[in-house]
Every structure is written in C-alpha cells, then in structure tokens.
Structure 1
Amino acid sequence: MTVEPAVKSFPRPSELPVPPGAEGWEKLYPYNLVFQNLSGSDDEKFWFCDSQHWPTVFKPFETIGGEFAVKCLGQYNTRHLLIPPANGIEFKIHLGYLYMSPVPVPEEQIPARVPEFERRVGHYFQNWDSLLEQWKIKVRATIDELEALTFTSLPEMVPFDDIVSGKAKDGSEVLMENYDRLIQLVYQNWQYHFEFLNLGYLAYLDFFTFAKQVFPGIPDQAIAKMVQGVDMELFRPDDELKKLATLAVELGLQSAFENTDDVEGTLARVGDLSGGRQWLDAYRAAQDPWFNFTVGNGFYGHDKYWIEHQEIPLGYIKDYIRRVGEGQRILRPIAELVAERDRIVAEYRSLLDGENLAAFDVKHGLAVTAYPYVENHNFYIEHWTMGVFWRKVRELSRVFVAAGFWAGEGDLLYLTRGEVRDALFDLVTGWAVGAEPTGPSYWPAEIDRRRGIIDALGSRRPQPALNTPPAQITEPFTMMLWGITTEQVQQWLGDDSGDDTAITGMSASPGVAEGRARVVHHADQLSEVQEGEILVATITAPSWGPIFGKIKATVTDIGGMMSHAAIVCREYGLPAVTGTGNGSTTIRTGQLIRVDGDAGRVEILED
C-alpha cells in the first residue's frame, strides 16, 4: 500500500495566535471584513496576504482604501467586462492585514461570457484614446470637487442673514453632507480607477499568452521587454525633480540646498542667489500637479505627500544635485530600453509570417497602447485623489479636536467611517442644544485602547497565505500582479533545495548585481538607503523612483511580472526578484547578497 505524501498547508486563520495586547482586535473593523466562521469555509479556502498594497496594519478608518479598491476591481471583472475565467476577489482582514481569495467562474459558465466579454473589451480597444481622455476629465472633475469640500467648526450663532432669508437651517447639515460627499467622491474615483486597469492587464496577458504559444520556451523577461521604454506619467514627479536638480546646477545654486529639512530657509536661500527666481518659478510650476505624490502608496492616513512635506522632494533634489555634480547620469535609460525593446520585437517578428505575424502585430500594439495605464492610474488615484482625500479627513478631524473629541488630527483614523458619522451627529447635537456632547468623555480613552491594539498587531508580520493552496494556481491576475504562482507558493511552504543561503522568487527584471542589503519595511526608512546598496522590502512603491537611482537591485516579498516593483525596476534598468515571500524577514541589513534577476534567485554571500 502506498502512502500519499502529506499536503503542505499554511496556518489556518483560527490557528494564528493573537499578539499579546491585541485581544478583541476584530471588533475594530466592520463585521463583514473579519472571518466570522472559522470552523467553516473561511478556515478552508486559500487566502493570500496582499502586502503589496497594504504592507502595514489597518487603522479602522483606513479600511476604506482596501474596501473600495477590491470591490471596484471585482465589479469590472464580474459585472462590466464579464472576464470569462475570473470574477472578483474576496477579501478579509485578519489580525490587521488584508487577505484575498480569487473567485473563479464555474467552468460551465465560461463559454456564455465570451461573446459579451469580446463585445465590451472590443469597444474599449477600438476607442482607447478618446475613452481614456474622457477618463482623465472624469477623474480630474472628481478631484476638483474633493478639493472644494470644506470642514469648519460651527459658529456661536446662526448668522442674522440666515434669519432674514428664511434659510431655516443651522449649517450642521453642510458638515454632515460634506462628509458623506467626501466618501462618495473617493468611491467614485475608485470606480473610475478600474475602468481601464483590468484592460491593461488583459492586453498584456493576451500578448503574453500568444507569445508563449507561438514561441515555445520564450522567457517571461523577453515578453516584458517588448513593452518597456514607454512614456509613463507616473515617472513625471521624479523626472521633474531631476530637471530641477539639473537647472540648479546650471544656475550655480548648489550651496542653497545644504539643509533641505528647513523648507522655508532653503527656498529663501535659493531666492537670494542669482538665478534663484528662475529656479523658484520652475519649482512652483512643477508642484501642480506633480507634487500630489506620496512616498507611500496612498492607502494609509499617515502617508506623507510632497505638496505638504516639501522637505521630501527638496531632499531628493539635493541628492540629485550631488550626483549631477559627480558626473553621474540621473535620467532613466529610455534610449537603451527602447533600443532593446525594438531589437527583441524585430527578432521574434522575423520568426513569424502570415496570420501569426498579423496577430503578433495586433496583440503587441494593444499591449503597448494599454501598458502605460497599468502605472499611470497610480498617479491620478492612489496619489492625487487619495492625497486630497486624506487632507480633507485631517481637516474634518481638526473640527473634532477643537470640540474636544480627541487630541490629535490623526486620531480620527481609529474610528470606522460609520463611527465618524455617528460622532458628527453627536457633535452637532451638543452644539445645537447647548449641552456637552458625549464624544469628549468617550473617545479619548477608546482611541487610546484601540491604538494599543493596532500597535500590538503591528508587532507581528503577517503570514503570506492561509490554509491549503490549490494544486495548481491558474487565475491570471493573481499570477501576473501578485506573483502568486504554484511554484512560489510551494517555495513559501519550504519546498526548495534546502539551500538556506538562497531565496527564490520571480524573475521580474533582468540582470545580476551584488551589494550590501538595506531592508526597508516603511517609507520613513528610505532616507537610510545608501549609494550602491540593494533594496530589500515587503514591496516597493512606484513613488520610490528617486531611490532607484541609488541602488543596484531590488528584492521584494510579493509581486509578479506586472507588479509595480517589477515594472518600475525594468524601466530603471535594475535587476529585481519579486515574490520571494520572506525576503525582507530572512535578509538583514548589511548582509552581502547577490540578486540574479534572470534566474529569480537571491543568494546571501556573507553576513
């Protein structure tokens, strides 16, 4: 009798211990976001942690980004485009982190979806330019409306003009309506976010699949190189800083940038120098819209945006000035990327003829057209929209601070968005009747209690996945975006060669590099990155462009061929291995490592 080998599994949600001090954590989040039935399907279904987009623990209000993003992704798969094999993605929060489980389409339902899918996708690809222009108009209009919202404390008395006009309202309705509108507007832009995003992935996936069919054995890297070197708006903020640094050197303004943490002092010193006014005009012109950019990813209330923390872009400019002065090349190697792209395209085209050649040209053309949106949407939604949103949230929180509900503008993040609306009515009721609201005696202690739970949850890194993985992972977006493949899951489970000096992952960007590791878990640690180091992170944000000019290579815990980390590293010409699962917890800062972006392998050479 043969004995079947035991199937390896990740821990079940019910098996994970709650960190000390985090007891009762699940009550901080909406009921529908936590596992309710740990003895049923939730404790059996395969879930993976999306630390690519949400690498740190959610405060209760911050779940809004995860909820809106994943819900809206699902609606385009399931209800708009009817993607034949893929519905949306279920999502839950466990121990403060976001876990996902793709929802497949039953096999018998797939054929019926195909004609409608082709009709809908065809409409977009046939009208891509005009529809994308309309998209930008819609998104900008939403951002403008967000900017126009205001949150101010209520006055001691209703203005006499309101008495005379018969307005018969006290203004509190504006405060509540603006809060509701704030939530509605950010939800609106998240719906717009996915109108084109899934199409960008689909176009690339269609080209990828076709290339694999007609060129058996073609490396994934070769396919990725065939769409590289395109102009992307997401790189504009970094490009603007490079232009400003180059201009500063040309005008001889280097001495003004000695202490960029002093923003006002730096700008004043620039203005006092010959040519300084010209530079300041260029600096101000770059801010709208390109400083609506965060060093994070836009999903957290603590993310710092350039427009509000100008010491960040000024610090990057200072470093670019140094590098220009040393004769370094600071621009992305676009010409080389384009030349390599064209060479590879020509090489593979020459192997085809007839219908295959025609199909290659059509599919490649669609992929190149749609590919930039995969990154560009980040600037408009995650950075610009969410930057305005978080700014307005802080503005609203200051109204509560003035009323004694809590001490700091960041404290609102410890409430759910439903609780914020309840607190608003508590505030305006107390004001209206001339009595003390309940909030000042309730929220300070409750927020402190919740802060302790969040801190305790944040003391432990999340499990990369939960429960037993399927024998084969076939869902294309899961593989392309997150790098969750059958091979990677097995590697996470420990099915490797036993070589504890090597970590395997996805070959995300070609090349080989050796250097000292710099492990970064939060954007606030980016200032620690030194010239020539190798960045090791849970995930890199697209906004880390200024850091990519310093480093030799990148290693991330999660991410596939179409992840932000993979795309950005290819565009900067840096080797990258993504989807390692545990790279950032296995590798330590200072270790000498070798990153092989061709083989998807990271070796620890010495401590």
Structure 2
Amino acid sequence: MGYLARFSELGSADVATAGGKGANLGELTRAGLPVPPGAVLLTSAYDDAVAAAGIGGRIAELAADPDRDAASARIRELFREAAVPEDIAAAVREAYAELGGAVAVRSSATAEDLAGASFAGQQDTLLDVRGEEAVLAAVVECWSSLWTARAMEYRAGHRARQGIGPDPVSLAVVIQRMVDADASGVLFTADPTTGRRDRIAIGAAWGLGESVVGGLVSTDDLVVDRVTFAEVSRRIADKAEMTVRTGGGTAQVPVPAQMRRAPVLDPAAAAELARLGARIEEHFGAPQDIEWCRAAGVFAIVQSRPVTALPPPAADPPRDWPLPYRGGLYFRASIVEQMPDPLTPLFADLVDGAVTRALSALFAQIVGGAGVREGDLRFPTVNGYAYYFYRGSGLARLTVRMPLAFRTLRGTDGSGRAGIRGWREHAHPEYAGTVASWAVRDLAGMSPAALLDGAATLLEAGCRYYTAVQSIIPLAATAEIAFAAFYDRAVRRPGDPAAGTFLVGADSVPILAEKSLYDLAAAARVAGLAESVAAVDTDELVRAVRDDDPPAGADPQAWRGWATLVREHLARYGHTVYDLDFSAPTPADEPGPLLGTVRRHLTGEGADPYARQRRLVDRRDAQTALVRHRLGPLRRRTFDALLRRARETGPVREDALADMGLAWPLIRRMLRELGGRLVEACTLTSPDDVYWLTAAELRAGVPGPVEERRMLHRGRRLVAPPQMLPELPRLERALQAVMPARDRNQTGSTIRGIAAASGAVTATARVLRGPEDFSGMRPGEVLVARITTPAWTSLFAQAAAVVTDVGGPLSHSSIVAREYGIPAVLGTGAATTRIRTGDRVRVDGDAGTVTLLEG
C-alpha cells in the first residue's frame, strides 16, 4: 500500500494506519454512500517524516512542558523547518493529480473519531487548497497540528480514562475533492440533547461546513422523527455569516439579506438527509455524528463518527407549567431548596401530605388554629418540581399573623416543637427516637406493606422535623440581619471588613464533618496506609472499606482499624443529604465522594481545616477587639448583644439542617429491600425501580411504566423551573428580595444573584450536578451548582468561590462560604444553564455578580 491509500481501499479496521477520519471515510465509500472521492496519506508517512528529520525525541521533550502554548509553537516550527522526504512528497502529488482542482486537506489522528472520545476539532483542516506545493504545505500543517496546545490538553485529559498517551499517537492526512457547497452542517442520528434514539437532529447553515463544526455561525436546528421522517420541530436562525471559498482558502462573508432568515432545508430535503443519516447509522450499528454538505441539490457526506457521551433517552422538555390548584400562588422556597430536581413518583406521592400536615401543624402552633384552614397549604408538583401552594385567602391570613408568629418563636418556652429550645428539647429527640425505633427492626422479616408504611412514617417524621427547623431559620436570619444592619450603619468605617467577618469560626456540624475527613487522612498516614489509600481508585477504596478487605500492600490489622474509623464517620455524618428526594443516595449509601476528599488530603490537594479556622478566628477576634475599642458604652453594648445573638443562632441553624436526613439511609434500605423482592418476583428489573412507582402501585403490586417515567424525569431536568407560579413579573420583582433565586432568563455576560459572601476572584468554573461529579472538582475552581447542602461542604475547601442557582445570604452555601473565606454569589437562577465547565468567570461576592469572561 505504501504511503497512500484510496478511500475504496480502507475500512473501519484501518484506524491505526488511516486515522479515525480516514478509516470512516473509507468505510462509508465501500458502503456505497455519497462521499466525495479522495485518498489518505497514511500514518507511516508521518512516522517516517518525523524519523527522517530526527525530531521525535525533541517533540517528546517539548510535549512534557506544562506551558503547552510555548511547546506547541516550537513543535510546529520543527515541522516547518524539516524537509519532507521525496517518496512521501511523491505520494502527495499522486493523490492531488488524481483529484485535481481544489481539495480539502484534513487531519486524521489515530486517537480521533473513536467510540469513547471523538477528539473532534483538535487538529487542523485546510479547505480550497490548490496546487501541488500548497497541498504539500497543508499536509505539513496537519502533521504539526497533532501538537497544538488544545490537542495535547485534550489527550492529557483523556489519558487516564482512555489509555491515550503522547507516544503512540500518530496522524494520517485525508486529501479529498472539495465540494463547492451551497449549504452544509451536522446531523446526529440520536438527539444529543435528550438522548432520544427515535429522533434525528440536524444543524444547517449556508456555505461551507467548517464554520458550523467550529461554532462560528448560527444554524437552523431541525428535529426529525426517525420512523416517519416528518419534522418534529424546526428553529430558523438569523444566519448573519457564512463561510465561502476564495480560490485558495476560505473567508467569512455576510449572508445576503434575503437568505438570512430563509430555511436552509425544506421539509423534503430534511427528510432526505435524515434517511441518509439513518442508513449510515444502520451500517455502523451505533448512533453517528455526521458532517454533510449539499451542492446543486445533491447531498454528500464528508465525515461520520460515533456519537460520544450520548445521554440516556429523555422526553421533550416541558414548555408549559399547568397548575393543579387555582386561586393561589406557588413558590419554590424553604424545603424546596433541598429538592433541586424533579421528584421521583414515590417521593412526590408520599411527601405531599407529609409536608402539608407538618407545616399546617407548625402554623397552628405559632399563629393559632384560625390562621390555617383546610386547603390553605399544599405541596404539589408542577412538571415534577415541588412547589409550596398557598391559597390566596390563607396567605393573607398568615401574612397578617406573621408578627404574632415571630413573637411566639422568640418567646417559646420549649413546650412546643418551634424555636431553638423546641428544636433542641423536643423536635430533634423525637425525630432521632423515631429513627432509632425503626432501625432495630428486621427488614427481611417485614411484609411489603410494612416496609412501605415504615418508609412513609419515617418520611413524615423527617418533614415534622424540618418544620421545626423552619422555625429556627427566621430567628437566625433576623439575628444576622440585625447585626449586619447595625454594623453597616452605626459602626463600619471605610476599610473595615464585611459584617460576615465577625460571624465565622463556629464548629457547626458541616465543619466538624470536614475536620473528620481531614482526621481520617491523618490517621491513614499514622497507620502507614497513605500510599495504599491514595493508590487505589475510589470504587475499590469503597469496596475495601465495606468488606474490611485491605488493598494490596496494606497491613491488614492497620487497615481494619482505619476502616472502622471510616465507618464511624459515616455513622455520624453519612445521613447528610445531597437531595431530599430519597431516590438520591446519601454519603452513607455511596461514600465515594467523601473518600475522594480523603485521598485529596493524602495527595496534598486538600487544605487543613483546622489551620483555616484558626486564621479566620484570629482575624475575627482581632477585628472584634478593634471595633469594640473605638465604640462608646452604648454602641458597644448594642454591638455585643447583636453579635452574641447572631453567633448563637447561626450555628444552630446549620446543626439543625445537617440532621434533616437522619432517617434517609434507613428509608432507602427499606425501599431497596422492597424493590429487591419485586426484582425476585420479576416485577421490576432493578431495586432502584421502586422509586419510580407510586404508593398505590406498590400496594397493589402492579408496576407502572418505569422507563417512561425515567425519560420524563430526564426531560424535565433540562429546564429551570420558575420560582413562582403563575409567572407574574410585577409580583416577582416585588418579592425578589425574599425569593431564593433571581431571573432564570438572564442574558448578557453578567449574571446577577445575591451577594452572599464577600470577596472577588477570577477562576475557571466547574459545574456540578451532584455527587457523581465531585471527583472532577479541582483546587482553585469556582464551584457552580443548583444548590449546595451540608453534604457538599467538603468541596468548599477546594473552591475559589461558590455560585448557585438557588440560595440566599442566609442559606447553607453562604454560611459555609464565609467559614472558608471565599466569595459566594447565590440565587442567580441561571448559573448552571449559562456557565459551562472550563469557562473563565469573575465572581464578585460583594456586588452579587458573576461575569463570563471566556470559554
């Protein structure tokens, strides 16, 4: 075969010699698909050219340089300075002679267009190349593009997961007849947004396709049904620019005015293209990401690669928000902040009545029985998202009685469940006692009905407990607000720190849990287990701890002692929840994220929480002393009283919230026991399917459509729910100060939220959906999430700042961010939809803004 192979001579098995792009084009050609003719300059040409120039060793040295931009520039110089061996140049001329005219010269790396990682766009493509010498120069540019900074970074990011390193990577070059395309774009044979395999997604633009692949132009977006090939949806873009040939290259030019809003593909053309895509997927046997072009009404395929990271199938995202009850308002606040995602059917079924009964009882206690009537409060879901519903008349009565409610909370003697004494002396002991009474029961001996009743009883106990916590939150909030207001207006001078500086340093439960993880790392060092713990992956570490089975090289006795300490930590802190929906595992169920934090401490990535706390406390005490020294007697007494009250109530709120999930590990064991029995009876396929049934279905033993509900749930997760329904802009603006999130439809480079923790920082963003993403967090990144609960606290030690969709200046995120001395902007409503991992952002915790700088 020598250095050159025609497309007709290549197939999927030739990735090692033709690269991913070349092998796929050969496979498409041999399958009879409409591929413009061409040939591939094989990887042997690259390898021999590098060897002949004697630059292989130097490339390896430069590739190890952490300054990838400088390394890439020098490597590309090495290629341009090297002479191309004559036999390789002859192969290039031969390929061009067969094609003639204008050609496209495309890189085709051996680590490209694979099922596990596409590496798309990491190397160069040159279009409209004319003449032998220009084609030869383009080949050299493609060779050198194997070592662009972005390509080296991309390979490094996948190295551990895919086994791709710098040494075995080589590059082929595709030389293909240029299509004078009037339109082009991409086609996915499965919807990449929803993961649905019965939908085909098409992006279409005028002109050449490289600008589409590179994201330089707007595209019409069409979705076509896979069975009927009828359009499901279409969005026609304002296509301001397009890429065109210049007779020796390409250029961006304005789209003629009459074409800007004209559809690139009519329904018939879209159906024809979709059928072609379906045929390609059928040939390869897997969903495909296809690049296409059209000239004179005829479609051509210029690339097809496997779709990587295709999400599980999801239903179409909801567009309307139908209200189950009329005559009132719906709010996503309070306990709903701990439910960022749509609820699973079983949780939604059980929690509605539990929250309604618990909250009605609390209001009856603090405002009197006449304040709440039947139907005034409900806890429904809208598109799966939980909302508080307040009937208009009931909301009015409660609003009038709020001053009485606050006096009741402040003056409670502890005889009820409300207030700090009520929580400490009644609510918490009762909740813990209920959990303990169920924990001693033999789950294997309980009937299915008893298991479901037990889970419902424990959930009811948790909701009653949370209502008691709700009575603490306003006390803590008003204490902190009162101190901050007095300090800002009557004490603070230019140059003085923010009020939050005086409120840090408490050993709340989340802080104690973080210290405990640090102590586990220290204990591993003392026991001689540091290398063993750091060497194994997280999954293996979890298994070794659970089974008391030491990893290779670990002393068995030392391991058993350390594993006992880990289990003690999980027994003490493992019930903190990431999401109140009991379908979400707790740290006790899946301790991987916590053990990942322990490993980071052992590898030096974690910060010492004791040292951090000492620094904050020293600064707090020094600033307090300075302020008190300059105040007169009256202002000093007021300052002391307000500060003491704020310091007393804030940590209580955090302690109370941390125990909200006390029953959750037991609830999950009960439901998984029930689910396991249904699997044995061949009713369900997995124990976790139990969460996708309703209580009535479980009692009747008749399962519902589990997979359909999962798809519906995935589709609903793609939208950001309104904070208030019905959506009344004037009322939303009036209530914005007390709502936990700002406008979810914000546009522009600045996202506004709530200034929650002082300071400003510029860093790279890391968007996390849940504990499954925790391992991706790196020190110095900005943590971006829908919410954070006490179970997220271990990540704050790594974060440069915190940004959330939901939350406020007195939420958990704010309190913990202050304890860590990092800026926080909360309640943006749009952070996780506007920011992507890798974006550079500036977080200003004083102004309450997040500025998007670059991607």
TM range (shorter): 0.7 to 0.9
Q: Which among 416, 424, 429 is matched to residue 132 of structure 1?
A: 424
- Matching residue of 1:447: 706
Q: 1:195 aligns with which of 465, 468, 490?
A: 468
Q: CA contact under 8 A between 1:244 and 1:283: conserved in structure 2?
A: yes
- Cα distance change on mapping 1:22 and 1:83 into 2, 3 Å: farther
**1:568/1:268 Cα in 2 relative to 1: closer, same or farther (>3 Å)?**
same
Q: Which residue of 2 aligns with 1:339?
A: 618
Matched, 1:95 2:394: no
Calculate the aligned-residue CA RMSD, in Å: 4.0
Q: Counterpart in 1 of 2:728?
A: 468
The match for 1:511 is: 759
Q: Secondary structure at the match of 2:512?
A: helix
Equivalent residue for 1:231, pick from 507, 515, 519: 507
Residues 100-119 of structure 1 mapped to structure 2, 5 A cutoff: 100=388, 103-105=395-397, 109=401, 116=408, 119=411
| Structure-1-length-normalised TM-score | 0.74
Q: Whole-Å Cα distance in 1 between the matches of residues 772 and 365 of structure 2?
A: 38
Higher relative contact order (CA 8 A, sep 6+): 1
Corresponding residue number in structure 2 for 1:317: 598
Residue among 246, 262, 266 paired with 2:522: 246
Q: 1:441-482: per-residue Cα shift (whole Å, max 9, x none)?
A: xx26x323333332332343434444114558777xx856x5
Q: Distance in 2 between matches of 1:25 and 1:187?
A: 32
**Any conservation in 2 of the 1:552–1:575 contact (CA below 8 Å)?**
yes
Letter of the 2:522 counterpart: T
Aligned partner of 1:603 in structure 2 is 851
Stretch moving more, 196-205 or 348-357? 348-357
For residue 240 of structure 1, report the CA deviation from its aligned partner: 1.7
Instruction: Give, as a single letter, the amino acid of the residue that structure 2 aligns with 1:208.
Output: I
Alignment-derived partner of residue 166 in structure 1: none
Q: 1:55 to 1:285 in 2, by over 3 A?
A: closer
Say which structure is richer in helix: 1
Residues of 2 paired with 1:201 and 1:546: CA distance?
A: 26
Distance 2:423 2:807 in 1: 29
Asked if residue 268 in structure 1 is aligned to residue 525 in structure 2, the reply is no
Aligned partner of residue 412 in structure 1, secondary structure: helix
Give the C-alpha shift of residue 182 in structure 1: 3.0
* Larger displacement relative to structure 2 (120-129 or 391-400): 120-129
1:243 positional shift: 0.4
The CA distance in 1 between the partners of 2:772 and 2:467, in whole Å, is 29
Are 2:792 and 1:544 equivalent residues in the alignment?
Answer: yes
C-alpha distance in structure 2 between counterparts of 1:255 and 1:514, whole Å = 34
Displacement, 1:285? Answer: 3.5
| Mapped partners of 2:633, 2:854: distance in 1 | 53
Identity %: 23
Amino acid at match of 2:550: A
Tell me whether 309-318 or 533-542 shows the greater mean CA deviation.
309-318
The question of whether the paired residues in 2 share the 8 Å contact of 1:234 and 1:378 is answered with no
Q: Which residue of 1 aligns with 2:227?
A: none
Long gaps (5+) in structure 1: 1-16, 27-32, 154-170, 424-438
Change (3 A) 1:89 1:525: farther
Tell me, what secondary structure is at the counterpart of 2:663?
helix
Distance 2:406 2:432 in 1: 33
Q: Letter of the 2:788 partner, please give it.
A: T
2:546 is equivalent to residue 304 of structure 1: no
| Equivalent residue, structure 2, for 1:532 | 780
What is the correspondence of 1:146-295 to structure 2 with a 5 Å cutoff? 146-152=438-444, 174-209=447-482, 211-212=484-485, 215-216=488-489, 222-257=498-533, 258-259=535-536, 260-263=538-541, 264-265=543-544, 267-269=549-551, 271-272=554-555, 275-294=558-577
Q: 1:104 to 1:554 in 2, by over 3 A?
A: farther
Distance 1:558-1:372 versus aligned 2 partners, 3 A rule: same
**Cα gap change, 1:331/1:360 in structure 2, threshold over 3 Å: closer, same or farther?**
closer
Q: What secondary structure is seen at the aligned counterpart in 1 of 2:380?
A: strand
The yes-or-no answer on 1:41 pairing with 2:327 is: yes
Q: CA deviation at 1:104?
A: 4.9
The aligned counterpart of 1:396 is: 674
Correspondence for 1:483: 740
C-alpha separation in 1, matches of 2:784 and 2:567: 34
* 1:98 counterpart letter in structure 2: A
Q: Distance in 2 between matches of 1:591 and 1:372?
A: 34
Asked which structure has the greater CA Rg, the reply is 2
Runs of 4+ in 1 over 6 A off after TM superposition: 22-26, 86-89, 121-127, 217-221, 472-475
Kept in 2: contact 1:49–1:465 (CA 8 A): no
SS at match of 1:216: helix
TM-superposed deviation, 1:268: 0.8
* Contact 1:555-1:576 within 8 A present in 2 as well: yes
- Gap change, CA 1:20 and 1:455, over 3 Å in 2: closer
Aligned pair count?
524
Please state whether the residue corresponding to 1:405 is helix, strand or coil.
Answer: coil
8 Å contact kept, 2:333–2:740:
no
Q: Distance in 2 between matches of 1:567 and 1:69?
A: 28
Structure 1 Cα separation of the partners of residues 402 and 728 of structure 2: 25
Check conservation: 1:559, 1:579, Cα contact below 8 A: yes
Q: Secondary structure at the match of 2:522?
A: helix
Distance 1:127 1:354, change over 3 A: farther
Q: CA deviation at 1:330?
A: 4.9
CA 1:370/1:52 → structure 2, altered by over 3 Å: closer, same or farther?
Answer: same
Code of the residue aligned with 1:448 in structure 2: it is E
Q: Which moved more, 1:270-279 or 1:240-249?
A: 270-279
Provide Cα deviations, 1:32-60, integer angstroms capped at 9, x if missing partner.
x97235xx535xx4644787322222111
| Separation in structure 1 between the aligned mates of residue 362 and residue 599 of structure 2, nearest angstrom | 44
Letter in 2 for 1:63: A
Alpha-carbon contact 2:479-2:645 (below 8 Å) kept: no
TM-score (norm 2): 0.54
Residue 364 of structure 1 pairs with residue 649 of structure 2: no
CA distance in 2: counterparts of 1:458 and 1:111, whole angstroms: 38
Q: Could you give the per-residue CA deviations for residues 16-46 of structure 1, whole angstroms, max 9, x where no partner exists?
A: x9x99469999xxxxxx97235xx535xx46
2:664 — aligned with what? 386
Contact 1:401 1:407 in 2 (8 A): yes
Q: Secondary structure at the match of 1:190?
A: helix
Flag structure 2 segments of 5+ consecutive residues without an equivalent: 1-232, 234-312
Q: Give the Cα separation in 1 of the matches to 2:777 and 2:740.
A: 26
After superposition, the C-alpha distances for 1:126-164 in whole angstroms (9 at most, x for unaligned) are 9956961554432322121232344448xxxxxxxxxxx
Q: What does 1:7-86 correspond to in 2, within 5 Å?
A: 21=315, 35-36=323-324, 41=327, 45=329, 47-48=331-332, 52-63=337-348, 67=352, 70-71=355-356, 74-75=359-360, 78-82=363-367
Give the structure with the larger strand fraction: 2
Q: For 1:284 and 1:108, how far apart are their aligned partners in 2?
A: 49
Cα distance in 2, alignment partners of residues 124 and 351 from structure 1? 42
Match of 1:14 in 2: none
